[in-house]
Structure 1
Amino acid sequence: MLSNLLIDSLFPADLPEPAEWDRRFPPRELPAGARTVRFCPSPTGPLHIGGIYVAMIDRNLADTSGGRYVVRIEDTDQSREVPGVKEQFQRAFEYFGLLPDESDFAGGDYGPYLQSARETIYLSHIRDLMRRRLAYPCFATREELAEMTAQQQAAKVPTGYYGEWAIWRDAPHKRVEAALAEGRPYVVRFRAEAAAGERVSFVDAIRGRIEFDANRNDVVVLKSSDQSPRLPTYHFAHAVDDHLMRVNLVLRADEWLSSVPVHHQLFDALGFERIEYAHVAPLLKQVGGGKRKLSKRKDPEASVDFYLREGYPAEPVLYFLRGLINGRLAEMPQSEALAATIRLDQCGVSGALVDMVKLGGLCADHIATMPAASVLAAVTDWAERYDAELAKILAAETDLALRALTVERDGHPNPRKDLQKWSDFRPVYGFFFPELFPLVNDLADTPLAKLPADVVRTFAAAFGDAYQPLIDSQEWFNQIRSLAATHGFAGSPQEYKANPGAYHGSIREASQIVRVALTGSTRSPDLYAVAMALGADEVLRRVRALADGQG
């Protein structure tokens, strides 16, 4: 058994006792029933949309109970940290309106909120466990551990570091002292006391009572001594941090369910009150006839950056995610669902399908209710980060952009649903802007190619020569109708169908000549409204380009 004197020599001499940290971070003064929750992303990769899902629930639980919502960055795995990811976390929280009450960037009285900055706190508690013979140094090498695993597999026994396989658990103190004197790297392991076959149970706030085998593994709680800073594993760090930050409810992915037994052992060994857990079902993707977890490695829509880069509006995304929590929220209007209190006992447990088609429809519905000025502001904000050329054009052509967005929108009984996300603006509305619209003068690659080129150009020239920007929509369209009659087009599709050899087409084909000249497509918003938004000079410029072109 190692002496306390030797144990203490492994740690900084001025290390505080655990009681000092409890004094510095006292229980919070909050109303009865208040929830203090935390969201703990790791900067080893971009934030998963499931993280926004959990953070949204955290934020709601804290707000509706008078509690606190904390963001703590779990950056103990510094070898895998991706530069810039911490900043991406903050962008994501800002975009979705999920800024925490306390975090590394918001401040707070219970920090630091970066685990890499909490080394001294962890070491205090590790030393305490070692003094009480609840943790010990382990000098097993990777090669020894790999050989042990192979032997366990051959013997068909559970793999792990336990019982007779825990080769440093009860090593003679002289052997440990010798290893320390040699400077051999070591980790610190927790001494698990569960017996073979022992079962434990706990109540999950979402799933109810759950039973597992008790943890028998002597899990690593402090990483190798040859690393600096000396950081703990997730198991140990979260127990210390949640206690000292006075968290009383932990929401996390269901992959951590099987870790609850070891976490409870750590809380008990450290003398901390156990925390309530709520394990959230995974987000799924439909693949063929089955489903699997939404994966950042395989699925672009798994990353929060995808939603920011594509410009999905935050409100309908949050509405969609709330609907995945429970069907009753999906049946509410968006404003009511976003204001509703989330109840953990109504959360699903089998996984929720991320249907991007459904999300696109919700976004289109949402954008259709927005006035043109609000859409323009949102598109501009998005473009300033992701499409510099478009941002410059919108700044120079604000009036034109507003006229374009007003078409079949403001005050219209059935507003257009042609935008699902802000990145759709360029392909959908780009034709309104001269800088983005290539004039149509070559008929070969247009829908007009099926008409004789001389018919198209003659009609376009005649329209340009006679064009008047009339205010009345019917009178405006009559300009096309009258020209059609004199240029070999039938007055209606029925008339053309009855005698196709007598005409170039019907009034529909005549209208398409003007439509393609103005928009480059046979599908566009109301042609009159488009012409009014463009203005007479631009209408004439486009029509005359078609009339004068070659091809």
Structure 2
Amino acid sequence: MLPADLLDRLLPDTAPTQQWEEANPPRDLPAGAEVTRFAPSPTGFLHIGGVYTAMVAKELAERSGGSYFVRIEDTDQARAIEGSDEHFARAFPHFGIDPTEGPDAPWGPYRQSERSEIYRSFVRALLESGHAYPDFVTKDELAAITERQQAAKVDLGYWGEWAVWRDAEPERVTAALDEGLPFTIRFRAPDAPGRIAFDDAIRGRIEADDNRNDVVLLKSSAEPLPLPTYHLAHAVDDHLMRVTLVLRGDEWISSVPLHLQLFDALGFEPVRYAHVAPLMKGEGKSRRKLSKRKDPEASVDFWMAEGYPVGAVRHYLRGLANSRLADLPFEEAAAEPLRLEEFGASGPLVDIPKLDDISADYVAQMPATDIRDRLLAWADEHDPELAGLLRATGDDLLAIIDVDRVDTDRVRKDIVKWSVFRERYGFFFPELFALVDDPADERFLGVPPEVVAAFTTDFVAGYDPDTASPGWFDQVRGLAERHGFALDRKAYKADPDAFHGTMREASNIVRVTLTGSGQSPSLDQIAGVLGADEVRRRVGAPAG
């Protein structure tokens, strides 16, 4: 162990750890309450896997009467991406993973770069107890050590005899400081590590080799503000913030032996870990991790820009976490708790077509007022032109949304996400609708152009906008008969050359002129929303 005067040179003006213990009191929570956290790094966009893990962490805390917070782990400032904070500020509330614990709670601050003084105190405590030491090794020296280890065919790393500053005498440390050499602070791993076993809240009992590496705890003193590595920072923060359960990706399983060593060296009660398998992407007959580089759906920006309703996304992700929830009705599934023991050890597959089906069902059950409000909120950010048209429509927007949704046994499922509204409902807005004015348009299913022109001319001339649904279609039926369409399918099959088509083709003429498509909701309801003048303008377009 180093003398106090040397410790003062390494870490001057360091507060005692007891100061931070008193400033971060134990939480007054009911028995069994979980304290969880979401700890993203601002080194790139938020991955949907992060939302998945954070959603689970928040739910477990809330259902148990505990607390959930967000901690920004920004100690790797060289890799920080500009705009990350703004991205987080939009994404967290959007997906409902914003913290329930406010920034003024006594366990903050919640950004690691603002906690450097705290970390220095605990690093000094590790130096004082002999669990850490200063290391002045250079990058070139580290590279040389690696080469010698490769030649000797031993484990790579900074350990044992290869850790050249591990047992340096105080005089050697003093000389290095006098010379102004930059240093890091390393953890002193146990001398003879063996095997370790620990209980994972998802995977059960895990056995592994214990850690033997003297990892860096505090980065180079040459940096303006030396910050800790993740290993030290998370141990100190999870202890002081009184975290009881850490949900994180399974890539961290191999670090658990080191982390448990750190908790022990610091005198902390270890937290409970739950390592979540990553979300996967199907690729032919195989699967791989959902990739930030390869897959647009890996970014939460994709989900927000596409306009998937958050409730549908949450239902889908909860079903990936616990498969028993996947096929339950939405309200029933939401009332059921998530159970860590039901998480799979292998990653669940993100299936966008499956999500689309769930989302369509979800929207189909929403009241028109909710659809309107969420659609407007999405359009304000992602499609301002559409947002302006929707607002200008006023109360008619609810009528547009409710076409074929009320007084019918059918359930329309044509809104999968808000971004499809323009494509599938744009025909309701004259500003977005391109008239179908060519009687030879292929959408008329081969009906002769002169028949299309004559049919639409007669429709406009005799159009009665006030008839109820049966009467509205009687107009089309009467025109179909006069213009050579078969009213009976049997008659058409018996002599197809005698007709221009069936009622299907006749109705399709009106459908295409009103909506631009051969598929649409009920024509009478569409006509009622459009109004008589607009109906006449559109249907009359092919007649010239």
* Equivalent of residue 105 in structure 2, options 86, 108, 129: 108
- TM-score, length of structure 2 as denominator length: 0.96
In structure 2, distance between residues paired with 1:536 and 1:151:
87
In structure 2, distance between residues paired with 1:481 and 1:295:
55
In structure 2, distance between residues paired with 1:444 and 1:185:
80
1:491 corresponding residue in structure 2: 487
CA deviations 1:426-449 (Å, max 9, x no partner) are 111111111111111135654127
In structure 2, distance between residues paired with 1:358 and 1:449:
32
In structure 2, distance between residues paired with 1:342 and 1:462:
62
Q: Is the 8 A contact 2:322 2:339 kept in 1?
A: no
1:406 corresponding residue in structure 2: 402
CA deviations 1:161-193 (Å, max 9, x no partner) are 111211221234333323222222221110101
Tell me the secondary structure at the aligned position of residue 282 of structure 2.
strand
Percent identity, please.
56
Tell me the secondary structure at the aligned position of residue 216 of structure 1.
coil
In structure 2, distance between residues paired with 1:509 and 1:119:
74
In structure 2, distance between residues paired with 1:510 and 1:188:
82
1:364 corresponding residue in structure 2: 360
Q: Which of 359-368 and 537-546 deviates more? A: 537-546
5 Å-filtered alignment, 1:424-463, equals: 424-443=420-439, 446-448=442-444, 450-463=446-459
Q: Is the 8 A contact 1:488 1:504 kept in 2?
A: yes
What amino acid is aligned across from residue 5 of structure 1 in structure 2?
D
Tell me the secondary structure at the aligned position of residue 269 of structure 1.
helix
* Equivalent of residue 189 in structure 2, options 151, 172, 192: 192
2:25 corresponding residue in structure 1: 26
5 Å-filtered alignment, 1:302-313, equals: 302-313=298-309
In structure 2, distance between residues paired with 1:443 and 1:175:
94
Q: Is the 8 A contact 2:23 2:106 kept in 1?
A: no
1:339 corresponding residue in structure 2: 335
What amino acid is aligned across from residue 25 of structure 1 in structure 2?
N
2:134 corresponding residue in structure 1: 137
1:512 corresponding residue in structure 2: 508
What amino acid is aligned across from residue 464 of structure 2 in structure 1?
Q
Q: Is the 8 A contact 1:400 1:534 kept in 2?
A: no
What amino acid is aligned across from residue 249 of structure 2 in structure 1?
A
Tell me the secondary structure at the aligned position of residue 409 of structure 2.
coil
In structure 2, distance between residues paired with 1:152 and 1:458:
89
* Equivalent of residue 279 in structure 1, options 275, 279, 284: 275
Q: Which of 236-245 and 127-136 deviates more? A: 127-136
2:88 corresponding residue in structure 1: 89
* Equivalent of residue 176 in structure 1, options 149, 173, 176: 173
Return 5+ residue gaps in structure 2 as ranges: none
Question: Structure 1's 496 and 94: CA in aligned 2 closer, same or farther, altered over 3 A?
Answer: same
1:8 corresponding residue in structure 2: 8
Q: Is the 8 A contact 2:196 2:210 kept in 1?
A: yes
- TM-score, length of structure 1 as denominator length: 0.95
Tell me the secondary structure at the aligned position of residue 540 of structure 2.
helix
Question: Structure 1's 110 and 486: CA in aligned 2 closer, same or farther, altered over 3 A?
Answer: same
1:317 corresponding residue in structure 2: 313
Q: Is the 8 A contact 1:484 1:510 kept in 2?
A: yes
Q: Is the 8 A contact 1:35 1:62 kept in 2?
A: yes
Q: Is the 8 A contact 1:138 1:186 kept in 2?
A: yes
2:249 corresponding residue in structure 1: 253
In structure 2, distance between residues paired with 1:442 and 1:166:
82
Question: Structure 1's 125 and 115: CA in aligned 2 closer, same or farther, altered over 3 A?
Answer: same
In structure 2, distance between residues paired with 1:186 and 1:301:
42
CA deviations 1:366-408 (Å, max 9, x no partner) are 1001122221111001101111001100010123322211111
1:508 is displaced (CA, Å) by 1.5
1:411 is displaced (CA, Å) by 4.0
- Determine whether 1:263 maps to 2:262: no
5 Å-filtered alignment, 1:349-388, equals: 349-388=345-384
Q: Which of 217-226 and 82-91 deviates more? A: 82-91
In structure 2, distance between residues paired with 1:413 and 1:87:
45
In structure 1, distance between residues paired with 2:440 and 2:136:
76
What amino acid is aligned across from residue 414 of structure 2 in structure 1?
D
2:414 corresponding residue in structure 1: 418
In structure 1, distance between residues paired with 2:191 and 2:258:
10
In structure 2, distance between residues paired with 1:218 and 1:361:
51
1:504 is displaced (CA, Å) by 2.1
Question: Structure 1's 325 and 194: CA in aligned 2 closer, same or farther, altered over 3 A?
Answer: farther
Q: Is the 8 A contact 1:206 1:279 kept in 2?
A: yes
2:76 corresponding residue in structure 1: 77
CA deviations 1:231-261 (Å, max 9, x no partner) are 1000000000011101111111111111111
In structure 1, distance between residues paired with 2:191 and 2:271:
20
Q: Which of 147-156 and 431-440 deviates more? A: 147-156
Q: Which of 172-181 and 338-347 deviates more? A: 172-181
Aligned length: 544
Q: Is the 8 A contact 1:373 1:402 kept in 2?
A: yes
Q: Is the 8 A contact 2:69 2:98 kept in 1?
A: no
Question: Structure 1's 483 and 249: CA in aligned 2 closer, same or farther, altered over 3 A?
Answer: same
Tell me the secondary structure at the aligned position of residue 63 of structure 1.
helix
Return 5+ residue gaps in structure 1 as ranges: none
1:154 is displaced (CA, Å) by 3.4
In structure 2, distance between residues paired with 1:69 and 1:539:
55
1:207 is displaced (CA, Å) by 1.2
2:518 corresponding residue in structure 1: 522
In structure 2, distance between residues paired with 1:374 and 1:247:
37
In structure 2, distance between residues paired with 1:181 and 1:441:
88
Question: Structure 1's 9 and 510: CA in aligned 2 closer, same or farther, altered over 3 A?
Answer: same
Q: Is the 8 A contact 1:194 1:214 kept in 2?
A: no
In structure 2, distance between residues paired with 1:184 and 1:528:
83
1:514 is displaced (CA, Å) by 0.9
Q: Is the 8 A contact 1:39 1:55 kept in 2?
A: yes
CA deviations 1:83-118 (Å, max 9, x no partner) are 222232232221222331225xx4422100000100
In structure 1, distance between residues paired with 2:440 and 2:164:
79
Q: Is the 8 A contact 1:202 1:211 kept in 2?
A: yes
Tell me the secondary structure at the aligned position of residue 31 of structure 1.
coil
Tell me the secondary structure at the aligned position of residue 121 of structure 2.
helix
